[in-house]
Chains A and B, each alone.
Chain A
Amino acid sequence: MSMTRSLLPAFAVTSLVFLSLVGCSGEAPVETPTAPVVTPAPAAPEAPPNIAIADLEADAQNVTLVPSPAEMQSAMEKAGIANGLSKLVTERQLKMDVQNKDVVAVRTGVVLADCLLTVKDSPKDKLVERLNVVKLGLNTLGAGKDLPATIDDLTARINNDGISRDDLVKELDEMHGAVIPEIKFEAGDRAVPLIQAGSWLEGSNLVSAAIIAANKPDAGSQLLRQPQVVDYFLKYVQTEGADKAPDAVLKQLEGTLMKLKEIAAKPALSADDVKEVKAQTDSVLALL
């Protein structure tokens, strides 16, 4: 029995082979079995070469360095200090019809930051007023016609309730992050960093005010220690502005940045440091 059982499969296989050979005979060449074709696996992509720190430092461009006011606000929310932020924004009447374009650029940045930081809960007329000041600033800077026209369009949509505040946040965010950096072609290279400086100063002022109001000095180390940003603005004000006539705003800005650099160099910020940031940024903003 066991022998029969073991022989049956062998017989069946032999029969199948025989039948297949007979069936194919004279009709097609007999194919010898070949090894299955193995497709080589795609080579793993090579990692880009490592760049040494000295080369990173030497090659780095500053175009992405400065955080946006909305990004600052996002970090503040996560630190639990963003409640009532828009109420901390100081009312300012900033004039844009002045001769010194550096000052106009800083002022434009301040008001743009105010727009971004209050866009969700600012009254319609206040928001439109701030956008109009930004437009005046951009016009004075010679930023071309397209951007002011876009602001006109936005203000019309705000007045007609034709845009939600959430969508307005996106529009202003993109304006600040992607469109304004391009106005260097019309307004010159100095305009963009000085607009950024204005926005960053206003943002830092509000962050320090919010930290003090919430009594959370630990948040200062997380939100206000940005030595590279301070350095970037400082070099601009000192080097690029050296040939310009002295201006009270720019002098104060330089002094404030020097102090902020000193504070940012500390490993951790104390409550007094946060108060100093508030006082220093207050003093520049008051001159505007």
Chain B
Amino acid sequence: MHMLLLSLLAMPARADEDQAETCLRTKIWDGYNTGWAVRTSTKATLNQGGHKVYLVTLYAGNDYKVLACGDSNIGNADIVLYDHTGKQVAIDSSNDREPSLSYTPQATDTYYIAVHASKLNDLTKQGSVATAVTYK
């Protein structure tokens, strides 16, 4: 399955997206060893300060971890989780390109995940961030 995922994702992806996805895939499979499973993984290409927002349904009782990997042009990526009213409920603003945050919802509801390219190393290029929602 690893090879299939690689070949499927590699076809339309640019080189930088491949780098971010390879990093994320490693995290996903590391997670399987500790009981985490993957809901969805996706990717985005962003300018400095740019962000992508994903709508996500989270089940009460499940533990969730949102993982992201930036490519080498991402100096700092951040993740923020908002509830359906727009209130921040979890944030990873650590200064690196592999942010993650954990959250256990008290009620099944819809949330927003915002992934930020807070700092790019080379402003003349874009940066790719691959993101996965995992659960257990």
| Interface of A toward B, CB cutoff 8 Å | 42, 45-53, 55-56, 59-68, 70-72, 74-75, 78-79, 144, 146-147, 149-150, 169-171, 173-175, 177-179, 181-183, 185, 221-223, 225-229
Cβ contact within 8 Å between A50 and B88: yes
Q: Which residue in A49, A56, A79, A179 is a CB contact (below 8 Å) of B86?
A: A56
Cβ contact within 8 Å between B1 and A174: yes
- The residue on A at minimum CB distance from B54 is A64
Q: Which residue in B28, B54, B61, B91 is a CB contact (below 8 Å) of A178?
A: B28
Cβ contact within 8 Å between A46 and B93: yes
Cβ contact within 8 Å between B118 and A75: no
Cβ contact within 8 Å between B38 and A178: yes
Q: Which residue in B4, B41, B88, B95 is a CB contact (below 8 Å) of A45?
A: B95
From residue 6 to 25 of chain B, which have CB atoms closer than 8 A to chain A?
7-9, 11-12
Task: State whether A64 and B55 are in contact (beta carbons under 8 Å apart), knowing that A78-B61, A185-B12, A225-B108 are contacts in the complex.
Answer: yes
Give the docked Cα–Cα distance between A50 and B132 (Å): 21
- The residue on A at minimum CB distance from B78 is A48
Cβ contact within 8 Å between A223 and B59: yes
Task: State whether A222 and B1 are in contact (beta carbons under 8 Å apart), knowing that A48-B78, A64-B55 are contacts in the complex.
Answer: no
Chain B residues, CB < 8 A from A59: 51-53
Chain B residues, CB < 8 A from A49: 116
Interface residue range, chain B: 35 or more
Task: State whether A61 and B52 are in contact (beta carbons under 8 Å apart), knowing that A46-B93, A178-B5 are contacts in the complex.
Answer: yes
- The residue on A at minimum CB distance from B21 is A178
Query: Nearest-CB distance from A204 to chain B (Å)?
Result: 12
A interface: dominant SS: helix
Cβ contact within 8 Å between A78 and B1: no
Among A46, A71, A177, the most chain B Cβ lie within 10 Å of the Cβ of A71
Cβ contact within 8 Å between B59 and A71: yes
Q: Does B40 contact A (CB under 8 A)?
A: yes
From residue 88 to 129 of chain B, which have CB atoms closer than 8 A to chain A?
88, 91, 93-95, 107-108, 110, 112-114, 116, 118
Q: Which residue in B55, B56, B86, B136 is a CB contact (below 8 Å) of A53?
A: B86
Query: Nearest-CB distance from A134 to chain B (Å)?
Result: 14
Chain A residues, CB < 8 A from B112: 51, 56, 60
